[in-house]
Structure 1
Amino acid sequence: MAGDELSSSTAVTSNGTVAANSNRVWANGNRAVATSNRAVANSNRAVAGSGTVAAGDKTLFKVFNDSVHGTITLPPLCVAIIDTPQFQRLRCLKQTYSSYLVFPAASHNRFEHSLGVAYLGGEMVDKLREQQPELRIDNRDALCVRVAGLCHDLGHGPFSHFWQEYMKQKRPERKWKHEKASQEMLQHLLKENDIRLENYGLDENDLVFINELIKRPLETNDGLWPCKGRGQEKSFLYEIISNERNNVDVDKWDYFLRDSHGLGVRVTFSYRRLMEFSRVLCVKGDKSKQICFRDKEVENIIEMFHNRYMLHKKAYQHRTSIIIDQMLLDAFMKVDHSIKFKGDDGEEYSLSKVVDNMSAYSKLCDDVLQQLQRLERDTSDPGIAEAQDIVLNIQRRELYPRIAQTRPDASTNKEVALKNYMTELLAAGRDARYRAAEDSFIIFRTKLNYGNKEQNPIRKIWFYSKTCPDVAFQINESDVSAMLPKRYEEVWYTCISRSYDTDVNDVIATAFDAACFHHGLKKK
């Protein structure tokens, strides 16, 4: 398996069990490691957890060379999943598609990110297991965490998060989320490739656990533990891959580091220190155990969230990126029924319906843009020509004009109010310019924050001290620094136009100025 940034280099075999990565054992005890050239496929070895095997069998691990983490070693079940068409599809999905069209070096894919999250998830669970044996983390738990990290992005569509917005507009009733699609794609992957979990020491309940790690069930009103894969005594495991409680998780650690590497936007937090100083504790007022951090790491955590803010500001929500996303959205909305994918039931599915069949969906990736360009222009369907012209404009860098933007002092939502006021003004116009302007203007609402909306993110994080390592407490902002931000969220409203007519855009600019003045906003 070879890739531009991440390639498999060596297959590693252990006599009796497991491979060591960076002097860390994969399972209990010290085991001898020998190299082998045999590739790992879907075999019927009786593998338990992340390395123990039946007597006489051998366990194969595979080593990958990663541009961010260096050497990554993954266990057999992860390798079996990687070597499938459904997972290899991630090579054809850019991690930050529209940002890649602004930052040329950001060409990395979800494939290498997924391997990175599997690696970090394994490192995290091994660290907790080593430091706190009383948590009773077993081999099956550790393997499930790695598999969940590997598969958490299986359900993503083309062009990064563009696809979620496309589905939201095209089929709002579907309430499509990529996490749910990842669970469905994993099930499809296992079935299509005859990967039997029992051959790797797992069972159906472990598959439930893996799915819950990808997307944790919602809390119930009765206060009962909502998860079925593991009991509440192992609630902390649900915070490793995707931490919905405070957003400190290995998924973000990897994409912050990996995206910054490609984007050229430097990050300054140390995930290694957070991992080293993590500890599972009972928290006051919560029956669940949570991952807490040493109190001296509070600045490191704040820096991590500041890095998040800067990546969104400089790259993910760069003004050119959001214009390209809108142009792609406009293009594909016009050809939804012209591009089809065949499912395993023999039916053909349009773009917005392809998520209903995982076999069809597994064929959808970033090359759908080239499929659009190859469509035959049809006079009976002008949408095809219009969509192709939009794509051509992106390639020629003839992007939708940006009219102006404003930033309110508060985070109140004025998106609808601005749109409605401008629509009323333009509808009252007397000539064709106003009608064209009414059909052409778009207002984006962009939120930039530290990951906890308007609040300081450390308010949701618990800490422990060197002297009292078993007592969880929270840290007041005033005890951190007198120079922390007063606000942790800002909102921008950006007006762009689908029209390239300067007269039409002058009308839009005038209407936007009037709308801002009416709502007490200053144009930036």
Structure 2
Amino acid sequence: MGLTVRVKTSLDSGKGVKSIYDEVYGYIPVSEVELKVIETPTVQRLRRIKQLALAWYVYPGALHTRFSHSLGVMHVIGILVRKFIDEGYVRRDDYELLRIAGVLHDIGHTPFSHAIESYMTQAFRIRHEELTTYIIETDPYLNEVFSEYGINPKEVASVIRGNHKEPLYNMLLSSDLDADRIDYLLRDSLHTGVAYGMIDVDRILHTITVDKDGELAVPSKSIQAVENFYLARMHMYRAVYHHKTIAAFQVMMRTIYEMILSELGDYLEPFTTLPKILSSIRKGEFYLWDDSLIAGTLNLVLVRGLGNDVLRELIRLLLNRVGYKAVYDVVKLSQEPLSTDRDEVVKMLNDVVKDLSSYVGFKEYMTIPYIEELNLVDEDLCVKVLDKNTSVRITEYNSSIINTIPRFIGIIRLYVHPNIYDKAREVLLSKGII
């Protein structure tokens, strides 16, 4: 079921009770219930979390937030759902359900996003998607709104998780060509100035439909716009999301965060352990865990001379934009996952670190292996192409260039503290690795 209480929505009149100006789409109409959700402290927190974390160290304009991205996803979902309602694929009463899922889909992101989330995943065995579900189901501010308007939080969460009983609903947020990806490519490209991410979103949104199997599809006449979408994502992964220098600052921030938790955890209470984080959500305190809290703690460590010399040195380097350096950097484009030779890669990096450990002045925090594998085209989730009476996945469509692009990007790096960069390079040269 969608909403059990009928409220006036922006679908009814084409207007909302309020309009919010967005730099990508212009004015976004917002309904009464959407406005109530947006105004909760839990959603307002996203104004204080940058969408691309430390990317602004490389692209100074990348200061946009997860809040604006979330509004954009809600807007794109609204466009798609209105179209699918007219075509008979979505129930009118589920319009608000899907828009609200859009605006809440990133609610579980941590401060500095991937820098801290990588630690959370390793230390607490929890991903931000799971945190999102927990917030939607237990946050007191959101649940007060849900209760007032008859919204089922579990159903909202199911759309975001991708296990709603209506498969099409899941595809709006969990497919290769979904509202999330459409918005972040446009928005991140705009703010970084990296033109690779610019896509023909109007063409995609105007022509996308649902095929006889209930899956997202585009007519063959629009295939160039979709191909450009896949190519744009591939280039943005390399130029922005896993940019060598940006990633260096991310791993540095993670190292600093772990040190603060270990030595000065009281300054980050109640966000130091998973039970405490979950408790903060239930108590309505989660909205305080934002970029400002972490950034303020870094300043406090230096101002008050807290922690040890290593921690303070790393913070000074980070604040002055002196990051770790990639002494080894290989990007592999392939049709096969990196996992086929991951063990060999890990052994090679560990051998280098072992050799460096005998170097005078070496400390464990000075080396950070970085291995990422990105799936560029998901064979199971990729969009389909309608051609005459057939509908096939774009990877199976003979005249599509998607057949020729790699399925995976493997990124293998060894980041080192700038003080040992020259020595690390010597070791790699001696082993014939570079």
TM-score range with shorter-chain normalisation? 0.7 to 0.9
Q: Structure 1 residues 104 and 351 mapped into 2: Cα distance closer, same or farther (>3 Å)? A: farther
Alignment partners' CA distance in 1, 2:208 and 2:17: 27
Question: Counterpart in 1 of 2:160?
Answer: 214
- For residues 380-419 of structure 1, the aligned pairs below 5 Å read 382-383=307-308, 385-407=309-331, 412-413=338-339, 414=341, 416-419=343-346
Is 1:118 aligned with 2:45? no
Question: Counterpart in 1 of 2:29?
Answer: 73
Question: Counterpart in 1 of 2:141?
Answer: 192
Aligned partner of residue 261 in structure 2, secondary structure: coil
Asked if structure 1 preserves the Cα contact closer than 8 Å seen for 2:85 and 2:92, the reply is no
Letter aligned with residue 158 of structure 1: P
Letter aligned with residue 316 of structure 1: Y
- The CA RMSD over aligned residues, in Å, is 3.2
1:332: Cα distance to partner? 0.8
Letter aligned with residue 179 of structure 1: E
Q: Structure 1 residues 211 and 249 mapped into 2: Cα distance closer, same or farther (>3 Å)? A: same
Question: Counterpart in 2 of 1:27?
Answer: none
Asked if structure 2 preserves the Cα contact closer than 8 Å seen for 1:105 and 1:263, the reply is yes
> Which of 354, 371, 374 is the equivalent residue of 1:445?
371
Alignment partners' CA distance in 2, 1:192 and 1:340: 26
1:441: Cα distance to partner? 2.8
- For residues 198-277 of structure 1, the aligned pairs below 5 Å read 199-200=148-149, 202-204=150-152, 207-217=153-163, 227=164, 230=165, 234-243=166-175, 247-266=176-195, 267-277=197-207
Q: Structure 1 residues 378 and 355 mapped into 2: Cα distance closer, same or farther (>3 Å)? A: same
Most deviating of 370-379 and 257-266: 370-379
Q: Structure 1 residues 351 and 395 mapped into 2: Cα distance closer, same or farther (>3 Å)? A: farther
Asked if structure 1 preserves the Cα contact closer than 8 Å seen for 2:41 and 2:141, the reply is no
- For residues 34-433 of structure 1, the aligned pairs below 5 Å read 47-48=6-7, 50=9, 61-130=17-86, 132-133=87-88, 135=89, 137-169=90-122, 171=123, 174-189=124-139, 191-192=140-141, 195-197=144-146, 199-200=148-149, 202-204=150-152, 207-217=153-163, 227=164, 230=165, 234-243=166-175, 247-266=176-195, 267-283=197-213, 289-337=214-262, 338-340=264-266, 348-350=270-272, 354-357=276-279, 358=281, 359-367=284-292, 368-375=294-301, 382-383=307-308, 385-407=309-331, 412-413=338-339, 414=341, 416-421=343-348, 423-424=350-351, 427=354, 432-433=358-359
% same residue: 19
Is 1:508 aligned with 2:424? yes
Cα deviation 1:77-126 (Å, max 9, x = unaligned): 11001111111110000000121221111110011111111111111100
Asked if structure 1 preserves the Cα contact closer than 8 Å seen for 2:327 and 2:424, the reply is yes
Alignment partners' CA distance in 2, 1:281 and 1:269: 23
Q: Structure 1 residues 64 and 51 mapped into 2: Cα distance closer, same or farther (>3 Å)? A: closer
Cα deviation 1:13-46 (Å, max 9, x = unaligned): xxxxxxxxxxxxxxxxxxxxxxxxxxxxxxxxx6
Asked if structure 2 preserves the Cα contact closer than 8 Å seen for 1:66 and 1:72, the reply is yes
Q: Structure 1 residues 275 and 458 mapped into 2: Cα distance closer, same or farther (>3 Å)? A: farther
Q: Structure 1 residues 306 and 354 mapped into 2: Cα distance closer, same or farther (>3 Å)? A: farther
Q: TM-score, normalised by structure 1?
A: 0.71
Question: Counterpart in 1 of 2:416?
Answer: 497
Structure 1 unpaired stretches of 5+: 1-45, 54-58, 218-226, 284-288, 518-522
1:450: Cα distance to partner? 2.5
Asked if structure 2 preserves the Cα contact closer than 8 Å seen for 1:341 and 1:360, the reply is no
Cα deviation 1:262-292 (Å, max 9, x = unaligned): 0001234222222222222333xxxxx2122
Alignment partners' CA distance in 2, 1:129 and 1:52: 10
Asked if structure 2 preserves the Cα contact closer than 8 Å seen for 1:98 and 1:325, the reply is yes
Q: Structure 1 residues 365 and 336 mapped into 2: Cα distance closer, same or farther (>3 Å)? A: same
Letter aligned with residue 386 of structure 2: Y
Asked if structure 1 preserves the Cα contact closer than 8 Å seen for 2:76 and 2:179, the reply is yes
1:141: Cα distance to partner? 0.7
Aligned partner of residue 64 in structure 2, secondary structure: coil
Alignment partners' CA distance in 1, 2:39 and 2:372: 39
Alignment partners' CA distance in 2, 1:128 and 1:141: 11
Alignment partners' CA distance in 2, 1:458 and 1:71: 35
Alignment partners' CA distance in 1, 2:17 and 2:105: 21
Asked if structure 1 preserves the Cα contact closer than 8 Å seen for 2:19 and 2:28, the reply is yes
Letter aligned with residue 395 of structure 1: L
Alignment partners' CA distance in 2, 1:483 and 1:142: 32
Asked if structure 2 preserves the Cα contact closer than 8 Å seen for 1:270 and 1:300, the reply is yes
Letter aligned with residue 279 of structure 1: T
Q: Structure 1 residues 89 and 516 mapped into 2: Cα distance closer, same or farther (>3 Å)? A: farther
Alignment partners' CA distance in 2, 1:125 and 1:355: 34
Q: TM-score, normalised by structure 2?
A: 0.85
> Which of 343, 367, 385 is the equivalent residue of 1:463?
385
Structure 2 unpaired stretches of 5+: none
Q: Structure 1 residues 269 and 480 mapped into 2: Cα distance closer, same or farther (>3 Å)? A: farther
Cα deviation 1:115-149 (Å, max 9, x = unaligned): 1111111111001111x13x3x3332111000000
Most deviating of 368-377 and 478-487: 478-487
1:180: Cα distance to partner? 1.8
1:74: Cα distance to partner? 1.3
* Higher RCO, 1 vs 2 (CA within 8 Å, ≥6 residues apart): 2
Q: Structure 1 residues 513 and 376 mapped into 2: Cα distance closer, same or farther (>3 Å)? A: closer
Alignment partners' CA distance in 1, 2:70 and 2:110: 15
| Structure label with greater radius of gyration | 1
Alignment partners' CA distance in 2, 1:415 and 1:394: 30
Asked if structure 1 preserves the Cα contact closer than 8 Å seen for 2:353 and 2:367, the reply is no
Q: Structure 1 residues 375 and 48 mapped into 2: Cα distance closer, same or farther (>3 Å)? A: same
1:394: Cα distance to partner? 1.5
Question: Counterpart in 2 of 1:42?
Answer: none
